[in-house]
């Protein structure tokens, strides 16, 4: 297996250092491509002092999917893995990827172990059936693709600022490409998920966009989108009743969600007509070649 590991990073120098240390120890023969940008914490200097990074790509866009595509374009392996800056691969990770690929997998993902106050949580496989299509989601911070499969969906959709991995999962399912789950392909995350700001507008605009883009403006798509919105609304309502949130959060959030769903659906419809191929990716890997503002190649 000729393996490339792409690590997008943004202002996470210390966490990135731990991620790269684990890769150097546990995946020593991999091509490691770091995509940085635009960081302002000395990341570039730290990377230039290491001898275990194959290439560094500097980008100016603050968009994770742009960084992912830039790294994919720079990588050369026949298997391309994406690893987040906040995670460290565990000892079984490389062998787990190799075993899955040897067994015929084209995409493989696994658990993300997150440290919380009560101990450790482990994400499990998540599969949904949408419009007759079985979709298996993957963690964008822990996934490996056969290059041919990754290129068949044209990488990640740069129109999305969030939800790029879930969008890719829908498009893989649309092509009949299965996502394999392996408990050996595991990583440990330093991000406990706490303190994340609620941005209902971004979340639901992205959700409506990817649902309409991948499935069209059908009733089941809008039903599922509004079901998710109602679940969030009930959660916030409980916080308001308990005194943990202001009523203005519930009312203001509701208006923002509805408006964002409408905007996302319109954008999704435009994207669906812009790319009618199976990849459903109007702003994908092949759409541009000017992502990098600087390259450092130590291969």
Q: Does one domain contain both 115 and 177?
A: yes
Residue 65, domain CATH:
3.90.550.10
Task: Evaluate whether residue 30 is within a structural domain.
Answer: yes
Helix (H, G, I), strand (E, B) or coil at 296: strand
Residue 245 and residue 200 in contact, taking contact as beta carbons nearer than 8 Å: no
CA R_g for the chain: 19
Q: Does one domain contain both 53 and 69?
A: yes
pLDDT for the residue numbered 123:
79
Task: Evaluate whether residue 288 is within a structural domain.
Answer: no
> Residue 209's domain spans which residues?
200-274
pLDDT for the residue numbered 250:
45
Q: Does one domain contain both 150 and 232?
A: no
Tokens representing 14 are 């210390």
Q: Does one domain contain both 110 and 239?
A: no
Helix (H, G, I), strand (E, B) or coil at 213: helix
pLDDT for the residue numbered 199:
77
Tokens representing 32 are 């490691």
Q: Does one domain contain both 186 and 252?
A: no
pLDDT for the residue numbered 190:
83
Q: Does one domain contain both 166 and 41?
A: yes
Q: Does one domain contain both 91 and 136?
A: yes
- Chosen domain end from 146, 176, 195: 195
Distance in angstroms (rounded) separating the CA atoms of residues 177 and 203: 26
Tokens representing 151 are 């290129």
Instruction: Name the nearest CA neighbour of 286 among 106, 141, 177, 157.
Output: 157
From residue 85, alpha-carbon distances to 31, 74, 209 in Å are: 16, 18, 27
Q: Does one domain contain both 88 and 127?
A: yes
Q: Does one domain contain both 93 and 154?
A: yes
Q: Does one domain contain both 48 and 67?
A: yes
pLDDT for the residue numbered 118:
55
pLDDT tens track, the chain, 299 positions: 999 999 999 999 999 999 999 999 999 999 999 999 899 999 999 999 999 999 999 999 999 999 999 999 999 999 999 999 999 999 999 999 999 999 999 999 999 998 765 556 767 899 999 888 999 999 999 999 999 999 999 999 999 999 999 999 999 999 999 999 999 999 999 875 544 446 778 888 999 999 999 999 988 777 777 777 777 666 655 655 555 555 554 455 566 777 888 899 999 999 999 999 999 999 999 999 999 999 999 99
State the pTM of this model: 0.91
Helix (H, G, I), strand (E, B) or coil at 193: coil
pLDDT for the residue numbered 41:
92
Residue 172 and residue 156 in contact, taking contact as beta carbons nearer than 8 Å: no
Query: Percentages helix, strand, coil for the chain, rounded to the nearest 5?
Result: 45, 20, 35
**Structural domains of the chain, count:** 2
Q: Does one domain contain both 24 and 102?
A: yes
Task: Work out the number of other CB atoms within 10 angstroms of the CB of residue 148.
Answer: 10
Residue 156 and residue 125 in contact, taking contact as beta carbons nearer than 8 Å: no
Q: Kindly report the CA angle at 181 between 213 and 122, in degrees rounded to 5?
A: 100
pLDDT for the residue numbered 242:
59
Work out the angle between the directed axes of helices 247-274 and 219-241 (0-180°, nearest 10). Answer: 160
């Amino acid at each position: 297996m000729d393996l490339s590991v792409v690590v997008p990073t943004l202002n996470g120098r210390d966490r990135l250092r731990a991620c790269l240390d684990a890769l150097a120890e546990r995946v020593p023969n991999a091509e490691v491509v770091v995509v940085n940008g635009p960081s302002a914490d000395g990341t570039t200097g730290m990377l230039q002092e290491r001898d275990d990074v194959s290439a560094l790509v500097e980008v100016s866009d603050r968009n994770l999917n742009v960084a992912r595509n830039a790294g994919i374009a720079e990588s050369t392996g026949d298997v391309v893995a994406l690893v987040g800056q906040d995670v460290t691969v565990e000892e079984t990770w490389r062998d787990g990827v190799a075993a899955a690929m040897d067994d015929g997998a084209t995409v493989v993902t696994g658990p993300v172990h997150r440290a919380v106050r009560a101990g450790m949580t482990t994400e499990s496989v998540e599969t949904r059936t949408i419009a007759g299509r079985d979709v298996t989601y993957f963690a964008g911070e822990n996934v490996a693709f056969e290059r041919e499969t990754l290129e068949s969906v044209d990488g990640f959709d740069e129109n999305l600022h969030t939800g790029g991995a879930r969008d890719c999962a829908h498009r893989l399912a649309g092509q009949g490409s299965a996502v394999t789950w392996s408990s050996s392909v595991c990583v440990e995350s330093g991000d406990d998920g706490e303190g994340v700001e609620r941005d209902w507008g971004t979340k639901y605009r992205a959700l409506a966009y990817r649902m309409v883009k991948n499935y069209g403006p059908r009733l089941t798509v809008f039903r599922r989108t509004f079901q998710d919105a109602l679940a969030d609304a009930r959660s916030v309502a409980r916080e308001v009743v308990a005194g943990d949130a202001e009523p203005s959060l519930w009312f203001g959030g509701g208006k923002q969600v509805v408006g964002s769903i409408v905007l996302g659906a319109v954008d999704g419809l435009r994207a669906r007509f812009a790319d009618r191929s199976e990849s459903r990716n109007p702003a994908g890997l092949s759409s541009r070649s000017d992502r990098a503002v600087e390259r450092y190649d130590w291969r």
